[in-house]
Amino acid sequence: MAKKKQKQVEEEINPNAHILGAGIVVEQPITETLETNYMPYAMSVIMSRAIPEIDGFKPSHRKLLYTMYKMGLLNGARIKSANIVGRTMQLNPHGDAAIYDTMVRLSRGYEALLHPYVDSKGNFGKSYSSSMQWAASRYTEAKLEKIAAELFRDIEKDTVDFVPNYDNTMPEPTLLPVTFPSVLVNATTGIAVGMASSICSFNLKEVCETTAELIKNPDHVVADTLIAPDFIGGAQIVYDRDQIEEIYRTGRGGFKVRAVYRYDKDNRCIEITQIPPTTTAEAIIDKVIEKYKSGMLKSYISDIRDETDKSGLKIAIDVKKGVDPDALMQKLYKATPLEDTFSCNFNVLVAGVPRVLGVKELLEEWIAFRMECVKRRVFFDLSKSKEKLHLLEGLQKILLDIDKAIAIVRNTEEESEVVPNLMIGFGIDEVQAEYVAEIKLRHLNREYILKRLKDVEDLKKNIAEMEDILAHKSKIKKIIVNELKEVSKKYGQERRSQLCYAVDIQQEEAVEKEIPDYAVTLFFTKEGYFKKITPQALRTSGEQKLKEGDEIISVTESNNRAELLFFTDKCQVYKSRVDDFDMGKASVLGDYVPAKLGMDEGESTVGMVVTEDYAGYVMFFFENGKAAKVELSAYQTKTNRKKLIKAFCAKYPLADMKYIREDCEIVLHSSAGRLLLLNTGAISPKTTKDTQGVAVFTLKKGHTVVKVRDYVPGEFAKPYRYKTKNLPSTGALPSAEDSGEQMSLL
């Protein structure tokens, strides 16, 4: 009894005491433990979970999309997500929750990818909100997006390798034969063991164009066509060419992304509509509230709300009276995630090895991968064509004597002897004889066989073409370029993320001095010289000093706080303030604007606009008789950018430009001497700066618009002669009574 009790006590202390060697501590080197226990886990995470491969997908993405493809979800109606998740478990053994999370990220509804692969219906949450959780898989529906067809094109033609799934019941692809560099088109992030991957998304058009250019010219500068990253949520990318080129070269680095906002003057409310992809609306609101409680923002903000709805993201910030919204946003950019850094780490698995690649290297690896896919596809088609040709050549021999073939079959006693007898009778091999033996009785006629033999010449031609393609890499590359152009044309979109230059941001962030407010008169000359003179100095001054051959084209009474827009002959506009220029006087030439504003080499000014409220319109008149009317507000920017590109249409030479506060009448002169009296109200205003405009002056071949000027009431004896009810118009030659007046005006 005592021994039994003692044994019972020992088992309570050590339940495994009956196992031989249990409880004995064995020393084991840490390096051996890591190699046998930790390294397999680390390799599994790196290769099978966190790091994308050259096709742009992690295994979880690939398994899900391939399952949907095999389910026929590329066409037809959506089905329940739970059904898709269940079927995917045949390839992915990690559980339904992980599979559904993967589907959510790939969906259109979640808004995480620039080009989503899953067409979703129902609540799939939002990537920009941590509180908007997606519905369970039994409530939502999904199918594949149209662009997903480019992931599986010709997958059945042995373009990629297949391996058995985890339980060896069905095959799955090791890679997808993507027809475009999806690894760069959609953002991918992953944290492995000892390494991570963070690839930002790029515009599909730019990626396809860059890849095509690299195929044609290996020395192509990537940054010339792949301008900058592009995000589905838009936002502004703080663009620094040197910084972007460094990321493109090394595959590592970071760039800043800023939120986009607009200001509602009536309600004194800043509305944030686009935020960086690295943050959420809740994180921004929490940070603003934190700064408010600390006292940093108490004198600026009265309330902040999340007004996100079905129309999209919106964070509303109510501003106190007298607060400059632009200055407040500069503070918020510094203090909150409204401005954040996207860190790049282009870590990709290439042939099973994780490598950090620059964009050019990454695209070169993709091109090599795609060339192998195309080569395997062509070889597959070639093999099938040769097999078909081989069968038809056997059929061609039968054609010589159909009756003999029928006789051989009829006179053969055993079925197993039919094929050998046909082989002997016509000198064909076993494959050809088997094909002939399987022909239906109704097809044993000359007409059917002749129709089949028409394909022989086409097959021979196609086989020769395919063999030629396989023999020349240049032809394979040409196929890839054509496919890239096709994808770009079919699925390409305009950029969502706009660029703001780092130099401009630095100027904005500089402490703004208090600008004194006083009246000034502004002079601007044809050669690009600018002067500001106070009314007092103007009264006592003499004649304005000008460069030889120069003339004053604009005299404007304004104030020192007004803004200036200088339009140039390279279709750009440079923005400045009156206060940025030193006070001048009549006896000096003034500031040379191209040098003062740092314009491009050889760039010169064509016009100036002075404004305080960006009201009115800018009229552009082109030499071919077209005119464009652009709202001045189109040039107003929240970020106070100093330079805007595509300020007006570059397609036609500019004859003249005019700034008008409201519609008025102007006179157009043609090189043929004809005049057109035009009311600007006849032209509809546009918000697109580089609009081509509408035809207003019909010109004969070889003639152009040479001058545009304001109409002086009463200058024409019969103004109706030069007017028209419909545009475009040919105008009219000056009448005898108007000729003298015209000469003085010219």
Total Cβ atoms within 10 A of residue 499? 15
State how far the Cα of 93 lies from the Cα of 684, in Å rounded to an integer. 62
Determine whether 248 is an active site residue.
no
**Is residue 270 within 8 Å of residue 261, measured between CB atoms?**
yes
Looking up tokens 């057109």, which residue turns up?
Answer: 676
Nearest partner of 672 among 719, 707, 724, judged by Cα: 707
Q: For residues 573 and 646, is the Cβ–Cβ distance under 8 A?
A: no
From the candidates 69, 100, 128, 139, which is the catalytic residue?
Answer: 139
Helix (H) or strand (E) holding 81: helix 81-88
Query: Token pair for residue 692?
Result: 């081509």
* Burial class of residue 295 in the structure, from the number of CB atoms within 10 Å of its CB (0-12 exposed, 13-18 middle, 19+ buried): exposed
Question: What DSSP line would sit under 164-222, residue for residue?
Answer: E-TTSSSEEESS---SS-HHHHS-EEEE-SS-EEEE--B-HHHHHHHHHHHHH-TT--H
Kindly report the length of the chain: 746
Give the count of alpha carbons within 13 A of 525, CB side only: 22
CA 291 – CA 286 distance, rounded (Å): 9
Task: Assign 233 to helix, strand or coil.
Answer: coil
Residues 6+ away with beta carbon under 8 Å from 664? 679, 680, 710, 711
Name, in order, each residue with C-beta under 8 angstroms of 430's C-beta and a sequence gap of 6 or more: 419, 423
Helix axes 473-491, 455-471, angle to 10 degrees: 100
3-class SS at 632?
helix
Locate 726 and state its tokens. 């419909």
Interatomic CA distance for residues 631 and 23, integer angstroms: 84
The DSSP code sequence of 44-76 is HHIIIIIS-BTTS--HHHHHHHHHHHHTTTTSS
Give the CA-trace dihedral at 475, 480, 485, 486, to 10 degrees: 110
Give the whole-angstrom CA distance, residue 631 versus residue 40.
Answer: 64
What residue ranges in 309-400 does DSSP mark as E strands? 315-319, 339-345, 347-350, 353-356
Residue of 383, 558, 348, 352 lying closest to 459 (CA atoms): 383
d(CA 567, CA 554): 13
Which residues are tagged catalytic? 139
